Amino acid sequence: MFSSDSGSNWHPIPNKRFAAIIVGQSIDKYRTYAEDLVIKSKLPEALHTDFINHYGIFYQSYEQLLNSLTASHGKGVSFQTDTVEARKNWRDYLLNGRILLDFLGLQCNKTLGLNQDIGGLNKKKFSLLLATLEKQGASDKHYLEIKSKLESLREDAVRFIGFRDREKVAGDTIAEFPSIDDEFGVVMGGVIRLDACNYDMIEFIKDSYEVIFKIILILLAI
């Protein structure tokens, strides 16, 4: 279902049949909001359905993850003693967010009017996007404004992508907590430790969702 390449070259490629089944089971509210967003965007109409599907699945996985954590244990949940369901929802949240970010990266040249194809977003492609905006900003300051907005979100976006990309390591299962090294953080007592700062698990999930939502608005030129 996914590429076996390692490192920054890896991008999730959703199984279309499986994605269609998931979307078909989604509650209407997840798709309705995405429809409102895409109508305001500069995304070509032929790609509207793809965005609605990707966003709907991501939004659903976000709510399912929060519900699975808050319903059983409340704030400060410990993944070491959590359920397989909660861990699966964590992985789904990261994967579906990753797929959505890749989709946005692949289409942002159309929505932002860029002279450069960017490709699926990862650390390297995010840098390419910023460099492209900088270059085009020499003749149109509007691109510099977009670059400034994205730069403020870059660190959190790359961190989120890093979490997801390190979970593709062979041997990981949904019964194990994702493999995370010192660069991206460790989890102790339900608190994520990232860059010497402690994050409550639920706070981190909410914050990362907000960052991705802001990127959506920017890259769809809403």
- Residue 60 resides in a domain: yes
- Please give the pLDDT value at position 158: 87
Place of tokens 């929060």: 66
- Residue 114 resides in a domain: yes
Structure token pair of residue 127: 């840098």
The domain of 143 spans: 7-219
The Cα–Cα gap between 21 and 26 comes to 9
* Residue-wise pLDDT tens digits, 75-100: 444 444 356 677 778 878 888 998 99
Which stretches within 113-140 are classed as H helix?
123-136
- Residue 2 resides in a domain: no
- Residue 187 resides in a domain: yes
- Please give the pLDDT value at position 171: 41
Residue with the bigger pLDDT between 103 and 205: it is 103
For residue 47, pLDDT beyond 90: yes
- Residue 28 resides in a domain: yes
Domains contained in the chain, number? 1
Residues 77 and 69 sit within 8 Å (Cβ to Cβ): yes
Reported pTM: 0.74
- Residue 1 resides in a domain: no
Name the DSSP class of 29. H
* Residue-wise pLDDT tens digits, 8-39: 443 444 455 555 555 555 446 777 888 889 99
